[in-house]
Amino acid sequence: MKTWKKRLLVFVAMLFCLGIFSYISKNFWFEQFQIYSLGKIEVAAQNFQNLPEDIDAVEIFMLSDRRDPKDTNGFAGDFEPIGTKEHKAITGADAKEIVSLWGQFLIGREFQAMCFEPVYGLQFKRKGEIYFQTSVCWECSGYTIPVSFLGTVHTVEYGFDSKSQGAQKLFERLQRLLPLPQKSEPKKAQI
């Protein structure tokens, strides 16, 4: 048998063995990818929970479920980007307080419910550059974090303990700085 035929036979045999190995271990590799992905989300959540001390400004956005094509804020809602109604830039002691309150509540997947209708968007800035941007929903205890997968940044939702004292203080502080409109109660039919 000629040399090139032997090499071709060995190559085909190796491909066949690799194919069998891949088929047998396909669930293993899928699970490894899931572990990797979930781990990246957990690490990103911890990193953004402990913000650096040199955050010098926080921009607060009141979010809207209606999207204006000119609004390029980058905040994410349940299924698509969402718009903003108002925003306010905070610096100095107020910004430091918000950064401190941000790190005072527990985070984890177990806190998040299925809805995601954020009312506030926050941009934590240092030296004029956005360090971290998030949409926050106190109803479902969820917020967004950027996570890099295979060179692309994706926004994923993560949970926090919205009922905790730190989260409630943060919500109250945001309400004082940029109050949300009061929800109107539906009128009852008169009989």
pLDDT digits (tens, 9 = 90+) for 138-153: 888 999 888 887 777 7
d(CA 115, CA 3): 64
Q: Compute the mean pLDDT over every residue in the chain, rounded to the nearest whole number.
A: 83
d(CA 118, CA 116): 6
For residues 69-91, average pLDDT: 75
- Is the model's pLDDT at 47 over the cut of 60? yes
d(CA 161, CA 169): 12
Closest CA to 175 of 68, 116, 98, 100: 98
- Confidence class for position 7, pLDDT limits 50, 70, 90: confident
What amino acid occupies position 181? P
d(CA 121, CA 22): 44
94 Cβ contact partners less than 8 Å away, ≥ 6 residues apart: 58, 173, 177
Range name among 24-28, 88-92, 144-148 with the lowest pLDDT average = 24-28
Range 136-143 contact pairs with CB under 8 angstroms and sequence separation of 24 or more: 138/162, 138/167, 138/171, 139/113, 139/115, 140/112, 140/113, 140/114, 140/115, 140/116, 141/111, 141/112, 141/113, 142/111, 142/112, 142/113, 142/115, 142/116, 142/118, 143/118
For residues 161-165, average pLDDT: 93
Q: Which pLDDT does position 185 carry in this prediction?
A: 44
Q: Which pLDDT does position 79 carry in this prediction?
A: 57
- Is the model's pLDDT at 191 over the cut of 50? no
- Is the model's pLDDT at 6 over the cut of 60? yes
Q: Which pLDDT does position 25 carry in this prediction?
A: 76
For residues 3-21, average pLDDT: 85
For residues 43-66, average pLDDT: 88
- Is the model's pLDDT at 70 over the cut of 70? no
pTM value is 0.73
